[in-house]
Amino acid sequence: MKFKLLVLDVDGTLLNSKRELTKRTISTLIKVQQLGICIALASGRPTHGILPFAQALGMDRHGGFIIAHNGAVVTDAASGEVIFERSIDPQMIPFMERLAKRAQMTLACYEKDEVISTDISDLHVVDEAHMNGMKLRQVESIADALTASPRELILVSDNEEHLTGVEEYLHSHMNGVMDTIHSNPYYLEIVGYQVGKAYAVSALVQKLGISMSEVIAIGDGTADVAMLQQAGIGIAMGNAGAGVKQCADAITLTNDQDGAAMAIEKAIVEEVRKTEIPLDALNAQSEGTLMGAIGIQYTFASAERVEATMPVDRRTRQPFGLLAGGASLALAETLAGLGSMIACQPDEFAVGMQVSGNHVSSAMEGDTVRGVATPVHLGRSSHVWNVDIFTSTGKLVSSARVINSIMKKRG
């Protein structure tokens, strides 16, 4: 598979203008993960504000990652383990408090499930807490209130020109100590040195053992530009600014037109299954069959390879919560059956003759396994298929051998 990591900005990209995940976006991203592609959500939001979207997309079950605070921290969506972090030097917080006071700006910071601020009546601070599902806490001094090094500070003002002036001042006086991100007209985000989504994606790529050419990134803001430029394919949203679009390899529709889902379908899903075989129709026809009863869904089909996914749930698990061996064999027969149908001549049809499997590992309830069938022998009277079944993280669960008898149609 050409791509192995999909990185999406959240606000203005993943979410529509109502800050909602659409059904099409959810469906597309779940399908992508079932195909074995890892997803990372990258945002200026704190981890607490991104986690609900990651859970809605099943990223905690498929091995996804959360890139928060514009790249200051990368967290495993399933375990909560921090795999990359760059914080602000705590000694700089009193300086920022004095600067905010002189500039008559509100200073805010995230800690755990709270937004800490010197003015919690500021409407932008209130909106930030509400958007991320966090509590507000008024403090006299952020430096005294924090219990750990902050990953991000926010200067808030309705005067964008004033914010730009402060940003220029910080660039000239704090270069090599802190970085700034001017994400919208009323926020200036202060982060540690060399913090950005591009740095975080580079760290994640290194952890996953893949190359940047295997990454697709989608975004709409200036904070996404470096990420779009370094990815194998960088896609700008239709609602992105002109400067962002100029830096991208492709442009999709807006976030209110399911632009991210459309780009993913074109770049990944269609690339994976370039075929005339009507998979959607085949999946729809499975209702009332064994395939439908245990949740098997075809995801790719050709004469050289057939793939499908199957959930590990109450229908396919043992009493102990592990994938049942019989369900694995049913998935193997289903894949090999379709493969032989594709390979058969117009006057031939396939009949299952034998299946055997070796179970080498386990898949737990809540996972979705992926079966991959490839032909070993396509003869005139029989077809032999090898079917490997993997967990969502790529671990081999079982390997099966399926033999189909090829018969001539009568009349």
Q: Which residue numbers are catalytic?
A: 333
> Could you say which DSSP state residue 44 is in?
S
Nearest by Cα to 373 from 400, 397, 393, 394:
400
Query: Which residues are registered as beta bridge partners of 8?
Result: 41, 218
In the chain, what is the greatest distance between 2 CA atoms, to the nearest angstrom?
91
For residues 404 and 351, the answer to whether their CB atoms sit within 8 Å is yes
359 vs 356: CA distance, rounded Å:
10
Beta strands in 333-392 (DSSP E): 348-359, 368-378, 382-390
Nearest by Cα to 208 from 3, 4, 406, 2:
4
Reported as type and span, the H/E element at residue 39 is strand 38-42
65 vs 83: CA distance, rounded Å:
9
Residue 399 CA neighbour count, 13 Å, CB half:
5
